[in-house]
Amino acid sequence: MTNPPDVPALLAGRHRILVTGGAGFIGGAVVRRLLSESEALVFNLDKCGYASDLTSIEALPQAEARHQLLKVDLTDAAATAAAVQQADPDLVLHLAAESHVDRSIEGPGAFIESNVSGTFHLLQAVRAHWEELPSERRDPLRLHHISTDEVFGSLGPTGRSLAARHISAARFTRQPAAECDGGLIVIALGAQPLRTRPGPAFGGP
């Protein structure tokens, strides 16, 4: 197995990192690596709902000086804009999402509000932030939307996605629309959108 990439090399000089969903399972792991393996300041925007747990982050000695929780719900556009202003980020890692498929069947509204409207509010806030930056900070600014392979639906027998043809109603409520919003706005700004759509992960913090 190859070694994981070096975090400072990945950050390439970016120091102020805004992580959304950093109290969740995957976002929490990202925050812990940023704190343990870099000198970055980490602003953790999370509404701190039922899926959140900050215990393992707060146990890190680095957390006191370099981790700041911004308890904000992305469905609140004004609070999101204020949080982005406060974080003043060089890099935004967007992991906040309603992520549990079963819940998307029982209550899809919360998924639309967080994953679609919430992503839209974040993008608008980051765009406003980007417009205010001096040119030397504009170019390196990145927004990375970490999504899920489930936006493609089930894998077929060859391991390739069956894509929209077999996409389930439950999965449709999750993130495709958020991705479209994000991609279009980022492209409109003249930047390359970055998206990661990983498969399921296992284990705990």
Ligand X SMILES: NC(=O)c1ccc[n+]([C@@H]2O[C@H](COP(=O)([O-])OP(=O)(O)OC[C@H]3O[C@@H](n4cnc5c(N)ncnc54)[C@H](O)[C@@H]3O)[C@@H](O)[C@H]2O)c1
Residues at the interface with ligand X (CB under 6 A) = 21, 23-27, 46-49, 51-52, 73-75, 95-99, 114, 118, 146-148, 198-201
- 39 vs 149 by CB, closer to ligand X: 149
Both tokens of 24, joined, read 């969740």
Task: Give least dist CB 37 to ligand X, A.
Answer: 19
- Identify the residue whose tokens are 């498969």: 199
Q: What residue spans of the chain are helical by DSSP H?
A: 7-11, 25-37, 55-58, 63-66, 77-87, 101-106, 108-111, 119-132, 135-138, 169-172, 176-188
Task: Give least dist CB 91 to ligand X, A.
Answer: 17
From residue 125, alpha-carbon distances to 26, 45, 56, 69, 178 in Å are 23, 13, 29, 18, 15
Both tokens of 18, joined, read 């805004």
Q: How many CB atoms lie within 10 A of CB 203?
A: 6
- 107 vs 198 by CB, closer to ligand X: 198
- 116 vs 185 by CB, closer to ligand X: 116
- 40 vs 69 by CB, closer to ligand X: 69
Which residue is at the shortest CB distance from ligand X?
Answer: 24
Task: Give least dist CB 70 to ligand X, A.
Answer: 9
* Nearest-10 Cα torsion for 62, 68, 73, 74: -90
Task: Give least dist CB 196 to ligand X, A.
Answer: 8
Task: Give least dist CB 131 to ligand X, A.
Answer: 23
Residue 141 C-beta-side C-alpha neighbours within 13 Å = 24
Task: Give least dist CB 178 to ligand X, A.
Answer: 9
- 37 vs 73 by CB, closer to ligand X: 73
- 110 vs 133 by CB, closer to ligand X: 110
Both tokens of 185, joined, read 């706005």
Both tokens of 162, joined, read 């069956």
